[in-house]
Amino acid sequence: MTEIPLFTTVNLLTGFLGSGKTTLLKRLLNDPALADAAVLINEFGETGLDHHLVERIDENMVLLQSGCVCCTVRGELAEAIRDLLSKRDRGIVPPFKRLVIESTGLADPFPVLSTLKADPVLRHHFKAGNVITTVDAVNGARSLDTYLESNRQIAVADRLVITKSDLVDEATMDGLIERITRINPDCVVLDVHDEALSVADLLDSGDFVRGEHVQSATGFYCEDSRDLLDSKGAPHSAEFRSFSITVDRPVDWTAFGIWLTMLINRHGERVLRVKGILDIAGEDRPVAIHGVQHLVHTPVHMQAWTTEERQSRIVFIVDGLDPKLLRRSFEAFALVDRVPVQPATVVAQRENAMTVEH
Ligand SMILES: Nc1nc2c(ncn2[C@@H]2O[C@H](COP(=O)(O)OP(=O)(O)OP(=O)(O)O)[C@@H](O)[C@H]2O)c(=O)[nH]1
């Protein structure tokens, strides 16, 4: 029988939109060291896709969606963890020894960590493990220039994982590492493509001491960075909006590809994130697509449909771009295959205004 430790370690996995959190999480969950971890994924917007993208759906996987965990769903975060705890105590979920929380790419990590510390039940059952922050080598510098959240995610990191190093040159990497270490001189910076990178590198606290940034056994707080970044009550730094489109017939791949490329070329700076699971005409398996600012990633075939309905779902997170315009262009272009445009084929469109005050 698995022995449950006195304190369950909590790891926060954070990082700006599209920086590779879910990709890293998927890799971690494939490691036997994390076979007994529970996972809580927070997504921004009504349509959650990450739990499908991880391709592990079980009782220890919880999805918190429709708001950002650092502001609108802080209470729900504590409640969801208490619920997991109670289910573990009653043997309803497998006896997890670790909890990994993947925050939205827009989350300010400070309120998330302090929520865990402030809750009397959680404080007595969980202890802080490493905060792992992903930084995208392609878009990282721009995100740091533009979004306070990105700076704060780096400030709080114990382990900083640079992703997409395969897409940039050495000088870009060096520049990014320099910026990161200026914000957080004590964090350990790792390259996700370093072959020697192990789960232990990310999860073990090791014996490094982070100046005043040391975490106590039950502490989740980093006072110095909090002061440094003037965190108190700061709202998200821009008007983020999330909305989704669901399409109930197969999507024409060529038309969609042209539409997405045109969108990203024209509005990449304001389309912070596009992600979707598509039912492509002529394909049996779902195809995952990802755009992050100006970067469109190679589409990936997923293993299989996890839902009965083979609907395409695309989630957008935009900054100052009118969702109506984007939708109109999607309907006019991406749905044009051999069939005339039928506005009714877009069966669901949800929108979430995301200017949220803490
Ligand atoms: N080339 C390359 N692509 C990567 C790497 N890491 C992630 N990606 C791609 O980047 C895209 C976004 O990755 P995700 O893991 O979904 O990013 P995320 O941070 O979870 O995204 P959000 O939850 O929406 O904020 C996907 O297409 C990934 O395949 C990397 O190291 N190299």
pLDDT of residue 192: 96
Write out pLDDT tens, residues 80-129. Answer: 888 889 988 898 888 888 999 998 888 888 887 887 788 888 888 988 89
Least confident piece of the model among 34-38, 232-236, 248-252, 258-262: 232-236
Residue extent(s) of CATH 3.30.1220.10 domains in the chain:
240-353
Write out pLDDT tens, residues 229-239. Answer: 333 334 455 57
Q: Distance from the CA of 165 to the center of ligand 1, in angstroms?
A: 12
Residue extent(s) of CATH 3.40.50.300 domains in the chain:
8-228
Write out pLDDT tens, residues 42-78. Answer: 876 656 666 666 665 566 667 665 556 555 566 778 8
Tokens standing for 134? 């992903």
Q: How confident is the model at residue 1 (pLDDT cuts 50, 70, 90)?
A: low
Question: Which CATH number applies to 8-228?
Answer: 3.40.50.300
Cβ–ligand 1 distance for 52 under 6 Å, the answer: no
- Residues 144 and 152: their CA atoms lie apart, in Å, by 9
Tokens standing for 285? 């398996």
- Residues 307 and 336: their CA atoms lie apart, in Å, by 25
Considering the chain, what percentage of its residues have pLDDT values greater than 70?
A: 74
Cβ–ligand 1 distance for 164 under 6 Å, the answer: yes
Considering the chain, what percentage of its residues have pLDDT values greater than 90?
A: 28
Cβ–ligand 1 distance for 215 under 6 Å, the answer: no
Contact 150, 144 (CB under 8 A): yes
pLDDT of residue 53: 66
Cβ–ligand 1 distance for 294 under 6 Å, the answer: no
Cβ–ligand 1 distance for 17 under 6 Å, the answer: yes
The correct CATH number of 240-353 out of 3.40.50.150, 3.30.1220.10, 3.30.470.10, 3.50.50.60 is 3.30.1220.10
- Residues 211 and 101: their CA atoms lie apart, in Å, by 25
Cβ–ligand 1 distance for 275 under 6 Å, the answer: yes
* Closest ligand 1 atom, residue 297 Cα: 27
pLDDT of residue 132: 96
Q: Distance from the CA of 17 to the center of ligand 1, in angstroms?
A: 9
Instruction: Annotate 27-66 with b (16+ C-beta within 10 A) or e (fewer).
Output: ebbeeeebeebbbbbbbbbbbbbbbbbbeeeeebbbbbbb
Q: Distance from the CA of 136 to the center of ligand 1, in angstroms?
A: 8
Given a cut of 90, whether residue 223 has pLDDT beyond it is no
The predicted model gives 147-159 an average pLDDT of 91
